[in-house]
Every structure is written in structure tokens, then in C-alpha cells.
Amino acid sequence: MRDDHSLAGELATEAGERLLELRARLGFEDGRALKDAGDRASHEFLMDALRRLRPDDAVLSEEATREERMDPRRLSAERVWIVDPLDGTREFSEEGRADWAVHVALWERGALRAGAVALPAWPGSAQKPAQGRTLTTAAPPELPEKVREPFRIAVSRTRPPEFVRELAARHGGELVPIGSAGAKIAAVLTGEVEAYVHAGGQYEWDSAAPVAVAVAAGAHASRIDGSPLTYNQGDPWLPDILVSLPDLAPTLLAGIRDLHRQTP
């Protein structure tokens, strides 16, 4: 039987390949139809695979019904797969954008144990062009050794928190708009940015897999007040998140704390 780390990577990668094929077949003329088809196809593939390969485990998926999400059996389960079949539907539906992802994570007995983030359209770099990449807890990426100056913070394309603008201004940082949450955290792990700060709220499936990989790689991951991120909760809503290179985390946490103290 495949180990959980390998399974997460294989499922995320295959779901991503299927999404690329769907994108090519349907095109971009009807963005809404493309989003809906992508969500549905990836969800069905992942659910079918997990039922077959891990029949005794519970699953929490973005595309599940409200009743399925609130099923009390999930809360008493020892093992729960937390999946986002298509993280970044907006970016998926926009031609030329690569900042969308597939998330597959395993929560077991109170902690994230395995995870994978597939970036199917990731183009690589000018030095090493590529078509797609999957970051996994099976082989965590190697973090940059030093914090770049000025450091860069990944933020929402449409609604970066005002306090993050102020945080960057005070500490000589730059803001980098990126699409999906998975793509933002992946950017920290691959050296494209040094941190990701979000305070607009998101759900467990938006961050479980990328946080699992980030922690396995040695990155810092917490709430913006420094408290732990918790998963498989009755209400899967997470108000905020900070993921960064470990050496930058103290500066960011202290800066956020100072800004919040000064807020009337």
C-alpha cells in the first residue's frame, strides 16, 4: 500500500493533469462553466480515489455539501483527508495564469501528517523551464538560506489587508500579488517571496496541504498572533494565517503585534 505522503502527491498531481486537459478542451470563453467543470471533475476524481484507496478515512472537501462538511463523524475520526480540488478557480479560468493549485492533506490525531500542493501550470524559471510541479511532504522543498532584502510578502490580488501594506512599509518589504492561497505559500517555499500574510479569512482546505508542506520544509506557519493553526474543527473557518521563512517570522509577528496595539 502506498504511504500517505506518496499518495497525497500522486493524487494532487493526477488531479492537476486532469484539470490541464479540461482547460485545454473547454477553453476560456465561458469562465464560469470552466470553473464549475474544474471544481466538479477534480472533486469527483479525488473523492473516488480516496474512497477506493483509504476507505476507512474521513474526507473534508471544499466541494462537499454543507451537510457532509458538518458530519459529526468527521470530528471523531482519527484520520481525515482535507482537500481543495481546485484552489484558485478565478486564476484557473484566466488564460495564461499559473497561480492555481490542487491541495491534498492528511490530518491524523490532531496534526497535519502529510500533504501535497500540485501547481499544474507552473512554468518553472528562465533557467529551468518546466510544466507543472508538485510540492510534497514526501520530499519537502529546500528553503532559501537567507531572507532577501527587501523581503517580499505574497498578498491577495484583490484585497490585501491594509495592515500588511503598513507592515511592509515600516520594515522595508514589498507586496507581491499572487492568486490562490496554495500558490502564495508555494511561492514562499520556492523563494519567489519570503512570506504570506492573510487576514481576510479562509477555510481549512485553503491552507491544510500547503501548511503541511511548509512545516515539513522548516518554514514558520501560524495565525498572525503566533498561535497555532488548527485543523479538522467543527467550523472549518480560519480567520488569518502567516507563513514565512523562519528567520523572518519574529520580525513579522512583532510588527503585526505593534500595528494592532496602535489600532484604535
Instruction: Answer for the pair 199, 239: CB distance below 8 angstroms, yes or no.
Output: yes
Amino acid 61: pLDDT: 95
Instruction: Answer for the pair 106, 8: CB distance below 8 angstroms, yes or no.
Output: yes
Paired strand residues for 118:
102, 134
39 annotated to a ligand binding site: no
Amino acid 130: pLDDT: 62
Domains 4-136 and 152-262 belong to one CATH topology: no
Cell numbers given for 241: 494565517
pLDDT along the chain (264 residues), means of 10: 94 98 97 98 98 97 85 92 98 96 98 98 71 95 94 92 94 97 98 96 98 99 98 95 98 95 72
Instruction: Answer for the pair 194, 178: CB distance below 8 angstroms, yes or no.
Output: no
Residues 6+ apart with CB under 8 A from 250: none
Using CB atoms within 10 Å of the CB of residue 185, give its burial: 0 to 12 exposed, 13 to 18 middle, 19+ buried.
buried
pTM confidence score: 0.95
Q: Write down the domain spans for the chain.
A: 4-136, 152-262
4 annotated to a ligand binding site: no
36 annotated to a ligand binding site: no
Instruction: Answer for the pair 217, 140: CB distance below 8 angstroms, yes or no.
Output: yes
CATH class of 152-262: alpha beta
Write the pLDDT tens digit of every residue in 197-237.
999 999 999 999 999 999 999 999 999 999 999 999 999 99
Amino acid 67: pLDDT: 82
206 annotated to a ligand binding site: yes
Q: Are strands 220-222 and 241-244 parallel, antiparallel or unpaired?
A: antiparallel
84 annotated to a ligand binding site: yes
Amino acid 64: pLDDT: 85
Amino acid 123: pLDDT: 86
Taking the C-alpha atoms of residue 30 and residue 85, their distance in angstroms, rounded to an integer, is 20
Residues 6+ apart with CB under 8 A from 182: 84, 87, 88, 100, 101, 102, 103, 117, 119, 206, 209, 210
Residues 6+ apart with CB under 8 A from 64: 43
User: Regarding the domain delimited by 4-136, which CATH topology (the fold level of the hierarchy) does it fall under?
Assistant: Fructose-1,6-Bisphosphatase; Chain A, domain 1 (3.30.540)
Cell numbers given for 173: 518589504
